[in-house]
């Protein structure tokens, strides 16, 4: 089932674009207890998309602007994305005013929050800063934007979820989809998760009213999450291939250099030493790459045996020797 190009909402956004749900989430985050939904004014830019990604929710309340986003994949570029999005919002806010006047234009104070529910291990709370990406670091950056990332996976930020039942139930629904997707075809997994949630009074009214769209969006979201994982796996494999080529080039250059400089009997010894050194560098490089991409020692040994044409026992010995260096 292909829903990829036809739906602009996510299940998260479908839930929280309702004023009552958004106000509940705001209260939970800010330890307030507002009940008047008219205090909250949505200003989400429906068509603002940057590189295929858009903000989920933006609203004004008490002269402040809150940008809430749900992400199942982590990216350190969230501050930059939010900078672009906030700039579009502020342009819309001042479009009928002159920036060359003598009076200062006041605008709502922005706040940026990302609710993370991906499967990568992440801390409960994390702050990303725009200045971390500056090519030249400064103790006092002249431009800054901070994004608060809150991990809402089971066992994380439970107090927040208790204060906002809709968020808690949303997390429960996502977990059911992921759990069933391990043993069932995706569409069946989503249908079963919806059935369970309705029976267990989790997002019951929401799912009964918008079941068809929720199913389609859940299939799309899970497919997208899985596709991003595959893309990143391909990127890691390409990085390994580039490292292999670099290692081979190092070996070739070392051999050629040794041959050029060696004379008489020294030729054989120099070549032998150069090859040994280059092969050792290649082995260390492969092991380092495996560690960088969170491979196990067993996976590293398999890769080393494959790329260096050595037996498995020898590969294990080399991995154990270099792993902690």
- 138-142, 181-185, 194-198, 268-272: least confidently modelled range: 268-272
β-bridge pairing 125-129 and 109-116: unpaired
Using pLDDT thresholds of 50, 70 and 90, give the confidence band for residue 296. confident
Both 122 and 205 in a single domain? yes
Q: Is residue 308 part of a domain?
A: yes
Together in a domain, 155 and 208? yes
Q: How does pLDDT run across 204-217, given as a tens digit for each residue?
A: 999 999 999 998 88
In which band, very low, low, confident or very high, does the pLDDT at 116 lie, cut at 50, 70 and 90? very high
In a domain, 243, yes or no: no
Domain boundary (233, 252, 276) is at: 233
The number of folded domains in the chain is 2
254 in a structural domain: no
**Is the domain of 63 the same as that of 193?**
yes
Please report whether residue 53 resides in a domain: yes
- Residues 196 and 63 grouped into a single domain: yes
- Mean pLDDT across 293-318: 79
Kindly report the pTM of this predicted structure: 0.67
Return the percentage of the chain with pLDDT > 90, whole number.
46
Q: What is the pLDDT of residues 105-115, one digit of tens each?
A: 999 999 999 99
Q: Are residues 175 and 280 in the same domain?
A: no
In angstroms, the CA 196 to CA 194 distance is 5
pLDDT for the residue numbered 3: 38
Does 222 share its domain with 303? Answer: no
Both structure tokens of 324:
């902690």
Spatial neighbors of 274 by CB under 8 A, at least 6 apart, are 254, 255, 257, 258
Residue 223 confidence (pLDDT): 65
Concatenating the DSSP letter of every residue in 6-59 gives T----HHHHHHTSHHHHHHHHHHHHT-----GGG-EE---TT--BTTB--SEEE
CA torsion, points 166, 227, 217, 88, in degrees to nearest 10? 80
Task: Assess if residue 2 is contained within a domain.
Answer: no
pLDDT above 60 (res 40) = yes
Range of the domain at 162: 11-93+105-133+143-233
Whether 118 contacts 167, CB under 8 Å: no
Q: Which of 196, 216, 233 is the last residue of a domain?
A: 233
Is residue 46 one of the residues assigned to a domain? Answer: yes
> Residue 313: what pLDDT?
85
Q: Is residue 185 situated within a structural domain?
A: yes
Say how many C-beta atoms besides its own lie within 10 A of residue 32's C-beta.
11
Domain shared by 66 and 157, yes or no: yes
State residue 2's pLDDT score: 42
Residue whose entry in the numeric block shows the structure tokens 């994390």: 126
Do 228 and 266 belong together in one domain?
A: no
Q: Do residues 85 and 219 share a domain? A: yes
- The residue among 235 and 18 whose pLDDT is bigger is 18
Question: What does DSSP say about strands 109-116 and 146-151: parallel, antiparallel, or unpaired?
Answer: parallel
- What does DSSP say about strands 64-71 and 146-151: parallel, antiparallel, or unpaired? unpaired
State how far the Cα of 93 lies from the Cα of 43, in Å rounded to an integer: 10
3-state helix, strand, coil in the chain (%, to 5): 60, 10, 30
Does residue 186 sit within a domain?
yes
Beta carbons within 10 angstroms of residue 102's beta carbon: 5
Contacts of 12 (CB under 8 A, 6+ apart): 56, 70, 115, 170
């Amino acid at each position: 089932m292909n829903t990829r190009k036809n739906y602009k909402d996510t299940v998260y956004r479908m839930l929280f674009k309702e004023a009552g749900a958004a106000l509940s989430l705001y209260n939970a985050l800010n330890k307030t207890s507002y009940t008047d939904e008219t205090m909250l004014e949505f200003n989400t830019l429906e068509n603002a998309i940057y590189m295929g990604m858009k903000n989920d929710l933006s609203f004004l309340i008490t002269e402040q602007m809150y940008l809430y986003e749900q992400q199942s994949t982590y990216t350190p570029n969230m501050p930059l994305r939010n900078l672009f999005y906030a700039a579009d919002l502020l342009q819309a806010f001042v479009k009928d005013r002159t920036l060359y006047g003598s009076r200062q234009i006041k605008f709502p104070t922005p706040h940026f929050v990302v609710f993370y529910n991906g499967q990568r291990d992440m801390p409960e709370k994390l702050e990303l800063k725009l200045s971390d990406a500056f090519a030249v670091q400064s103790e006092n950056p002249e431009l800054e934007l901070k994004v608060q990332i809150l991990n809402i996976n089971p066992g994380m930020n439970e107090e927040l979820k208790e204060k906002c039942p809709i968020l808690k139930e949303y997390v429960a629904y996502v977990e059911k989809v992921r759990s069933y997707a391990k043993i069932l075809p995706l569409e069946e997994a989503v249908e079963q998760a919806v059935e369970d949630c309705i029976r267990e009074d989790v997002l019951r009214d929401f799912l009964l009213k918008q079941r068809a769209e929720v199913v389609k969006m859940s299939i799309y979201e899970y497919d997208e999450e899985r596709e991003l994982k595959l893309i990143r796996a391909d990127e890691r494999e390409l990085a390994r291939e580039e490292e292999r080529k670099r290692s081979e080039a190092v070996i070739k250059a070392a051999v050629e250099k040794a041959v050029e400089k060696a004379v008489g009997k020294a030729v054989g010894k120099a070549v032998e030493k150069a090859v040994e050194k280059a092969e050792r560098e290649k082995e260390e490089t492969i092991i380092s790459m495996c560690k960088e991409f969170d491979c196990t020692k067993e996976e590293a040994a398999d890769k080393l045996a494959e790329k260096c044409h050595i037996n498995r026992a020898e590969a294990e010995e080399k991995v154990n020797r270099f792993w902690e260096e």
